[in-house]
Structures are given as structure tokens and as C-alpha cells.
Structure 1
Amino acid sequence: MVSMGLQLAGYTIAFLGYVGTLTTTLLPSWKISSYIGSSIVTAVSFTKGLWMECATYSTGITQCDIYSSMLNLPSDVQAAQALMVSSCAVSSLACLLAVAGMRCTVFGQGSPGKDRVAVVGGVAFVLGGLLCFIPLVWNIHVVLRDFYNPILPDSTKYEMGEALYLGIISSLFTLI
């Protein structure tokens, strides 16, 4: 198998990806409104996430509301909720398996199955990264499709939020 230093480096990168995936799942900034409005006095910026939407007023006050019905959400958001929670669960399991299978841990030392546990942990990290990557790319596609749709009014168009950028980087870290 690989050296202990390489295992630690790989685990650290994958763990950072896992933390980023958790953060991406919880952030309410998947989509950011691109329409400011005609009056600077009543300017409101809207953000939408998987679990809530927020409005930031020109006074600096931010008000967030949790979605009242999960069944009323668009299919891309419902799928993203399920896939991101699955990604977090699989990545949590991957963290435990990878730690148990690393050479620097005492758990199962000298056991022939220790290397297999590390491999299963790595495969689980890859699966968690894919489960994170799919809803992110799907939401990016929806945002860009709607943004460049000439039929939609400007007030309903959104841009990509910080959570999507963080999620892409996190899923790539988890996949590496």
C-alpha cells in the first residue's frame, strides 16, 4: 500500500472536502437574485438555498424563511436535498472507515483486512464526492438556463451563489 504520509495527505484533503460538503448543504446561497429593482430605497437581494430562502434589504437586515413545504419545491431542489444529505452520510462513513484503515492508527493493526478497510473508505469518499457533484452541476445548469432564457422576466432570474462554487471545490477535494 501507500506510505503513511500519502495516506494522511489524502485523508486531509478528503476531510476538507467533507467539511465543505456539509457547509454547502447548509448554506442558503445556492442562487442569488440578479435583479436589484428600480428604487435604491427598497432594494432587496434574494438568495435561495436547499432549505430556506433569504431576503437582504438595503438597510442591511437579512430575513430568512424555511421552506414551508418540501413537496412544493422544484424537482432540482428536491433532488439536491436528497443527494446532498446522502453525500454527507456516505462521506461521514468514509471518514470513519478511512481513519480505521490508515497505517497510523492502532485499530486492527497487523490485520490483513486493514488495507481493505482503507480502500473501502476511499471508495466511499469517491461515492460521496459524486453524490455531491451531481446536484451542484444540475443546479448550475438550471440557473444558467433560466438566466439566459429571454422569456423569463429579469425579476425571476438568479445567478450562481457562493455555495455552488464552494460545493464544486469540495466535491473535487472529496473525489481526489
Structure 2
Amino acid sequence: MLSGAVQILAFALALLGVLGATVATLLPNWKVSISVWTSIMTPISQMQGLWMDCVWYSSGVFSCTMKNSVLSLPPSLQMMRAGMVLSCMVAAFGLCLASLGLKCTRWGGSHRAKGHTAIAAGGCFVLASFLCLVPASMFTNEVITAFLTTDLPDSSKYQPGGALCVTFISAGFLLAGGVIFCLSCPGRSSGRPESVSSPGPNGPVLKSEEQNRRETVEHKYCSLHRRPP
């Protein structure tokens, strides 16, 4: 398996990815208007997200409207919502598995069982990364296509917002943590010889393979050089 420090680094990256994906899902600035108005009580910024639309007025008032009607939303937006929610859920499940697969923890079973659990956690993080990348890519494509192909005035055009940047960064963190955890194969880099037990006065004593080999050589040497009575 990988070293404990590398696994902790992967766990930290995955945790940042989960937090970032959750925050990005709730943020309203997935796309932001490009026009800036200076009149009093006129909007200077309009933002649209997956769950709400917000307007920031020049007087300092910030107003948001929730998208409560699911049936009135376009199918693409519903699919983006489902993808982000599934990404957060799968990533959270991956964190639970990763806590069991860490070498620095006492729970999770044997060394080999921890390795398989770490690989499963890595798979969850990679899947969550793709579930996060697909809605963000679709939303970005829609915003850029509408900006370049429509003849709307600048007051009605939008550009990608900060929530999309957070989504892409979070997906990168999840992917990096998942790849690191997927390299935690229990049979690759253990670096320790297998131990066998031998009976002792106070119970079984663990002996490494090198010690057993050395004792065997010494026993053969003594048998050859032992004088007959």
C-alpha cells in the first residue's frame, strides 16, 4: 500500500473536493450578466444558478428567487441538478470508505482489507469527479453558445460565473484524490516480509521470513559439524 502521509494527502484533497462541490451546488452565480447599470434601484448584476436566481441592485439590495417548480425547469437543468447532487453523495460515501482504508487508523480490518477499501474509495472519488465535471461542462457550453450565437443585447447576455470555477477545481481535487487511493493495491508496495508465528513460553512469537531462513541455515550447519558420541 501507499505510505500513510500520501494517503492523508489524498484524503485532504478529496475532502476539499467534497466541500467545494457542495458549496458550488448551492451557489447562485453559475452564470452572471455582463452589463453594469448605474441608475438607482436598477440591477447591476444578475446571477442564475441551479437552485435560485439572484439580482444585486445598485442600492445594495440583494434579492434571490428560488426555483421551486421542478416541472417548469428545462430537462438539461434538471439533469445538472441530479448530477451535482449525486456527485456530492458519492463523494461523501467515498470519504467514509477512505477513513476505513487509511493506514493511520485502527479500524477497517487487516492490512489487505484496508487496501481493498482504499481502492473502493478511490473509485467513488473518480466517479464523483466525472459526475461533477459533466454538469459543469454542459452549463459552460450552454452559456458560451448563447453568448456567441444570439443577437440579444448586452443586458441580456451572461458569462460563466465563479461557481463554475469552483466546480471544476473541486472535480480536479476529487480526481487527484481518487487516483491516489486507487494506487493503494495491497500487494504492491508493502515493503515488509511476511511473518509467521512460532510457539514461545509466553505465547506465539512472530518471526519474519529472514529470521526463519537464518535459523534454518544455522540448524543445518550445526547438524553437519556435530561430532558423533
Question: What TM-score, normalized to structure 2?
Answer: 0.73
State the Cα distance separating 1:111 from its structure 2 match.
5.0
1:166/1:76 Cα in 2 relative to 1: closer, same or farther (>3 Å)?
Answer: same
Matched, 1:93 2:93: yes
Task: Name the aligned partner's letter for residue 139 of structure 1.
Answer: F
SS in 1 for 2:142: helix
Tell me what 2:157 maps to.
157
- Describe how 1:4-153 pairs up with structure 2 within 5 A: 4-37=4-37, 40-44=39-43, 45-110=45-110, 112-153=112-153
SS in 1 for 2:151: coil
SS in 1 for 2:60: coil
Task: Name the aligned partner's letter for residue 105 of structure 2.
Answer: T
Q: How many residues align?
A: 175
After the TM superposition, which of the residue ranges 107-116 and 160-169 deviates more from structure 2?
107-116
SS in 2 for 1:136: helix
State the Cα distance separating 1:113 from its structure 2 match.
1.7
Tell me what 2:221 maps to.
none
Tell me, yes or no, if the aligned pair for 1:18 and 1:174 is still in contact at 8 Å: yes
Q: Distance in 1 between matches of 2:4 and 2:51?
A: 40
State the Cα distance separating 1:123 from its structure 2 match.
0.7
Tell me, yes or no, if the aligned pair for 1:146 and 1:152 is still in contact at 8 Å: no
Identity over aligned pairs, percent: 37
SS in 1 for 2:47: strand
Tell me, yes or no, if the aligned pair for 1:93 and 1:124 is still in contact at 8 Å: yes
Per-residue deviation, residues 118-165 of structure 1 (Å, max 9, x unmatched): 100011001001100110011000010011124334333111111001
Q: Distance in 2 between matches of 1:120 and 1:108?
A: 13
Q: Distance in 1 between matches of 2:80 and 2:165?
A: 15
Task: Name the aligned partner's letter for residue 43 of structure 1.
Answer: T
Say what the alpha-carbon RMSD is for the aligned residues: 1.4
Q: Distance in 2 between matches of 1:88 and 1:110?
A: 29
Q: Distance in 2 between matches of 1:18 and 1:143?
A: 25
Q: Distance in 2 between matches of 1:12 and 1:138?
A: 28
Runs of 4 or more above 2 Å deviation: 39-43, 108-112, 150-156
5+ residue gaps in structure 2?
177-229
Bigger RCO of structures 1 and 2 (CA < 8 A, at least 6 apart) = 1
1:111/1:4 Cα in 2 relative to 1: closer, same or farther (>3 Å)?
Answer: closer
Q: Which has the larger radius of gyration?
A: 2
Tell me, yes or no, if the aligned pair for 1:18 and 1:88 is still in contact at 8 Å: yes
